[in-house]
Amino acid sequence: SSIKVVAEGQDFFTPAGGLTAVQNMLQSNPEINLIAGSDQGLEGATSALTAAKKTNVAMVGFGASAAGIAGVKSGAIFSEVVQMPASEGRLGVKALVTAIRSGTNGGAIDPVAALPNHGIVTRATASTFTSEWPG
């Protein structure tokens, strides 16, 4: 099967932005069956979908915040793509200090490489993830 993008919106990483974006998308495309957005935006998207009585729309979050992981566990969110802001900052500073002290280039660092399912949270794997931010 193929995927067809029928609408785009901007949530500005806020529930209010997600609410407005999804309301606008549903008005022009009531057949939408998948919404992807930031964890914060999905909070607003949930409100818009509830108000429109849309129960067959899957949501995919970007962040894997504590709220996002809880949403996957409950089934409200289909899946999450993990972001690790604390680890990314720590690893970046560590690489910078090493580079300054030794002149060694640390190269690319992927903080999600060792995570289950390559950092994709599903209902089956949600309990194996720990969020680095509340959401």
SS3 66: helix
Angle between helices 66-74 and 39-51 (to 10 degrees): 40
**HEC profile of 82-95:** ECCHHHHHHHHHHH
pLDDT in tens, 64-93: 999 999 999 999 999 999 999 999 999 999
Q: Which residues partner with 60 through β-bridges?
A: 36, 79
pTM of whole model > 0.75? yes
User: Tokens 């067809």 belong to which residue?
Assistant: 4
Query: From first to last of its 135 residues, what are the pLDDT tens digits of the chain?
Result: 688 999 999 999 999 999 999 999 999 999 999 999 999 999 999 999 999 999 999 999 999 999 999 999 999 999 999 999 999 999 999 999 999 999 999 889 999 988 999 999 999 999 999 999 998
